[in-house]
Amino acid sequence: LRALDTAHVWHPFTQMATWHEDAPLIIEKARGNWLVDTDGNRYLDGVSSLWTNVHGHRHPHIDAAIRAQLDNVAHSTLLGLSSRPAIELAAMLARVAPQGLNRVFYSDSGSTAVEVALKIAYQYQKQRGPAGEGRSKFLCLRGAYHGDTVGAVSLGGIDLFHAVYGGLLFKTVRAEAPYCYRCPFGRQKESCRHECFTHLEETATRHAPELAAMVIEPLVQGAAGQITHPDGYLAHARALCDRLGILLIADEVAVGFGKTGTMFACEQEKVTPDLLCLAKGISGGYLPLAATMVTDAVYEAFLGDHAQCRTFFHGHTYTGNALACAAGIASLQLFRTEGTLERLQHIITIYDALLRQLETLPHVGDIRRRGIMTGIELVEDRATRRPYPFALRTAHKVVLAARRRGVIIRPLGDVLVLMPPLSITAQECGLLVEATAEAIQEVTG
């Protein structure tokens, strides 16, 4: 298997897999919050398989739902046909999403959920007549990550994913993202004047006539380094968009389905976006599924006869796949029957206390957490916050050291990402944090 993997599988970010010990583990089984490789070694899944498996692996309720659906139909298209699980999941999502988001457009990945949102927003503005004229650009935050398709990369601001494709991408309007540990306005906690709020306002106001929508990850910019936003920032963005006639697209691909402590991050600031992008946890992490939810007002702009040509010309082959939707229904049921979010509050108290112990490590610069989403930023020098040289790949080495201790975590630059399943136990939290601490000490000395 290892030889065939090396010979034939193009893994994401392959250029980084240069060392022998970097070789991907070949995962053969999983159960609960644990993964098992082909050698029988067990690993605690500290990133819920890239932020997806919110209830862990092989939950009997989700397994059973998929099996039952398989006995009926695995897949039939949503083009001209519909299916029971696709309908029922859409109705359930409309019940749990921020009020007013009643319409679900299915696709297959977080990137396509964002891509769909961009196209809907662009077309919506065009169809609005004079009020929407010229509104063809998107406002996004520096350092953002919204996926790997061309539209989603255009929004992105992480050089590694973005720079090489420059000639292929469309232009966006960028605002500095709030980043309290490395404030782009040069402030410290004590001297903070919330310049990130006024800066966003100025940027949005200046560009308003050309803006179709603002795209934002609510509360936490995940792939940017688990950067947590100051309270009120999302509500501020909502108010600005309302005032300036800009649509608000909330990308909850990473933060959605409980990871910030509430079902959706937008809830915490009582915000209803005009469009909401969902993926990852939507199917409990079992199967590829994504949704772009929109308000009635947005959907109604697409009603009209053929002469007006208001149809949204977009559709994927596996859109609303029945097995994936059945998994999605079962996952949402579990949130209710297992009281996932209530239980999580208790776990987070324990988890937070454990994490605080890492603050004493000399090369831990910042620990940021919202719900279960955690970033641990490593620095070469804590006093000056000087990062490690990129070539050292310090966080990457820490991740490998944690793996040797039976725990899977991920690096994002110099940031260690911990995002275990919501089903993690107190004992597993202990293991996760302890292995991370030992790994940091081993690598940073």
Query: Which position among 33, 107, 109, 331 is part of the footprint of ligand PMP (CB under 6 A)?
Result: 109
Residue in 35, 97, 114, 402 binding ligand PMP, rule: CB under 6 A: 114
Distance of closest approach, residue 434 Cβ to ligand PMP, in angstroms: 27
Is 280 annotated to bind ligand?
A: yes
Tell me how far apart the alpha carbons of residues 67 and 55 are, in angstroms, rounded to a whole number.
18
Interface stretch with ligand PMP, choices 153-161, 247-255, 291-299, 358-366 (CB under 6 A): 247-255
Is the four-CA dihedral 313, 317, 318, 321 of positive or negative sign? positive
Nearer to ligand PMP, 279 or 347 (CB): 279
56 in a known ligand binding site:
no
Rounded Cα distance, 357 and 355, in Å: 5
Q: What is the nearest approach in angstroms of ligand PMP to the Cβ of residue 46? A: 16
299 is in an annotated binding site: no
Whether 369 has a binding-site annotation, put simply, is no
How far apart, in whole angstroms, are the C-alpha atoms of residue 363 and residue 387?
Answer: 10
Question: Regarding beta strands 275-278 and 247-251, do their DSSP bridges make them parallel or antiparallel, or are they unpaired?
Answer: parallel
CB 152 within 8 A of CB 160: no
Number of residues that bind ligand PMP (CB under 6 A): 14
Cα distance between residue 1 and residue 92, in whole Å: 41
The Cα 223–Cα 212 span in angstroms is 24
From residue 267, how far is each of 165, 172, 254, 391 by CA, in Å? 35, 27, 15, 40
* CA atoms in the 13 A half-sphere facing the CB of 260: 23
Of the pair 291, 344, the CB lying nearest ligand PMP is at 291
Shortest approach of ligand PMP to residue 53 CB, angstroms?
A: 13
Q: Does 115 bind ligand PMP (CB under 6 A)?
A: no
Task: For residue 165, give every residue at least 6 positions away whose Cβ sits within 8 Å of its Cβ, in sequence order, or none.
Answer: 150, 153
Of the candidates 48, 83, 107, 111, which one interacts with ligand PMP according to CB under 6 A?
111
Report the residue number, 246 or 279, with the smaller CB distance to ligand PMP: 279
Neighbouring C-beta atoms of residue 364, cutoff 10 Å: 20
Torsions phi, psi for 293 (to 5 deg)? -100, 140
d(CA 196, CA 114): 24
**Interaction of residue 223 with ligand PMP, rule CB under 6 A:** yes
- Which part of the chain contacts ligand PMP (CB under 6 A), choosing from 97-105, 108-116, 351-359, 431-439? 108-116
* Residue whose Cβ sits closest to ligand PMP: 110
Binding residue for ligand PMP, selected from 251, 267, 366, 377, defined by CB under 6 A = 251
144-173 residues near ligand PMP, rule: CB under 6 A: 145-147
Nearer to ligand PMP, 224 or 443 (CB): 224
In the region spanning residues 274 to 293, those forming contacts with ligand PMP, defined by CB under 6 A, are: 279
Of 10, 59, 92, nearest to 325 (Cα)?
92
Task: Using the minimum distance from each CB to ligand PMP, give the nearer residue, 111 or 331.
Answer: 111
231 annotated to bind ligand: no
Among 178, 222, 387, 411, which residue interacts with ligand PMP (rule: CB under 6 A)?
222
Beta strands 211-216 and 247-251: pairing type?
Answer: parallel
Interface with ligand PMP includes 217 (CB under 6 A)?
yes
Q: What is the closest distance, in whole angstroms, from the C-beta atom of residue 151 to ligand PMP in the complex? A: 11
Which of these, 371, 289, 275, lies nearest to 329 by C-alpha position?
A: 289
Which amino acid, one-letter code, is at 255? V
Asked if 414 interacts with ligand PMP (CB under 6 A), we say no
Task: Rule CB under 6 A: say whether 325 interacts with ligand PMP.
Answer: no
- Does 406 carry a binding-site annotation? no
* Minimum distance, C-beta of residue 222 to ligand PMP, in the bound complex (Å): 5
What are the backbone dihedrals phi and psi of residue 52, each rounded to the nearest 5 degrees, phi first? -115, -45
Kindly state whether residue 110 participates in binding ligand PMP, applying the rule CB under 6 A: yes
Phi, psi of 75 (to 5 degrees): -155, 135
Q: Are 136 and 306 in contact (CB under 8 A)?
A: no
Residues at the binding site for substrate are 145, 280, 315, 410
The residue ranges that bind ligand PMP (CB under 6 A) are 109-111, 114, 145-147, 217, 222-223, 251, 253-254, 279
